[in-house]
Amino acid sequence: MSGSLDWSIRIVSGTGGTVFESRVPNAVPGVLQAQIGDIVTWGNATTETHQPWPTQGNTPTGGPASPADPVLFFSDPIAANESSNPQFVVPGVLTTPPTTLKAGSVLYYCCKNHPTSSTERGQIVIF
């Protein structure tokens, strides 16, 4: 467990709609690689409010989970030109259902405010 790295994801307007863009060189769009204990934040560079939220069943196309696993609370709503709050710390264990995360585990999320958007989706891949 590292717990020493901070990662940033920007929420930006793209040609096909709003996207989650990892601020890592050569990153795959919408994908952030992180270790358990790392800190992830989102910065909203659009004119709308967005809220990263875990997907139902932790699937790439699922809608917002209801209720969401409490350890997967990514952020409060993020207003235009603001940063996420609180910071999200990549967990080692999910509570619902109890699942230990390890290298290769994926946490899928979507925008809670725009759940039908096919572009407002992301994933955190544990390495």
Query: In this predicted model, what pLDDT tens digit does every residue of 96-114 receive, in sequence order?
Result: 889 999 999 999 999 999 9
Contact at 8 Å (CB) between 50 and 18?
A: yes
Is the pTM higher than 0.85? The answer reads: yes
Could you tell me if residue 63 is inside a domain? yes
Could you tell me if residue 78 is inside a domain? yes
Could you tell me if residue 60 is inside a domain? yes
The answer on pLDDT for 48 being more than 80 is yes
Mean pLDDT of 33-61: 97
Tell me the pLDDT tens digit for each residue of 82-94.
Answer: 999 999 999 999 9
The residue segments making up the domain with residue 69 are: 6-126
CATH number of residue 111's parent domain: 2.60.40.420
Could you tell me if residue 1 is inside a domain? no
- Residues 55-60: contacts with CB within 8 Å, 24+ apart? 55/108, 55/109, 55/110, 55/121, 58/106, 58/107, 58/108, 59/108, 60/108, 60/121, 60/123
**Number of domains, the chain:** 1
Mean pLDDT of 32-49: 97
Could you tell me if residue 19 is inside a domain? yes
